[in-house]
Amino acid sequence: MIRRSLPLLALGLGLAACSTPPPPPPGDPRLIITPAVQSLSFSAPVVNAGPDGRLRVNVNVVNPHGGDFPLRIQTDWLDETGRPLPTLQSRPVFRSLARQTVTTIEADAPSPRARDFRMTFDIGN
């Protein structure tokens, strides 16, 4: 009985290893990475304030694939109360990431009133 169940147990463990979930996204809660783009690598966001007081964000994205990757980026800029500012800078931006390269995604706050941001990455089409 035990001899019979051992291969089954081994098979079950093997299958569980195959279905290991993809690695978690970077810990920064300001980056929202949808499952469709989790095969890309995202750096932690670098946030600076420009000379005019507006926030500027850079995120490096690595495309390890053998083909170009269509990426859709949407950046919401939030005021001090956490409400999104109405701005064209929150409209989706589409980038085609060249294969096996690093692309820097940049976003600039529309005004110094923006205190925080939320950047969502999704597949472009």
Partner 1 sequence: MTDTARPARRALLAGAALLALPACVAGEMATQRVDPRNDRTPIGMGLDNRDFEEAARALVRSMLESGRLQPRPDGQPRVMAISRITNDTTLRINTNELTQLVSVELNNSGRVVTTTAVGLDGPADPLAMQTRQLRQSGEFNQRTVAARGQMIAPDLSLSGNIIQRSTRVDGGAMRVDYVFQLNLTNIRTGIALWQGQEVISRVGSGRTVMW
* Residues contributing to the site for partner 1 (CB under 8 A): 51-52, 54, 74, 85-91, 93, 108, 110-112
Nearer to partner 1, 3 or 91 (CB): 91
Sign of the C-alpha dihedral computed for residues 87, 92, 96 and 102 taken in this order = positive
What b/e readout covers 72-88, taking b as 16+ CB neighbours within 10 angstroms?
bbbbbbbeeeeeebeee
- Minimal distance in Å, beta carbon 14 to partner 1? 39
Nearer to partner 1, 19 or 125 (CB): 125
Nearer to partner 1, 25 or 110 (CB): 110
- Minimal distance in Å, beta carbon 29 to partner 1? 21
**Range list of H helices, the chain:** 2-18
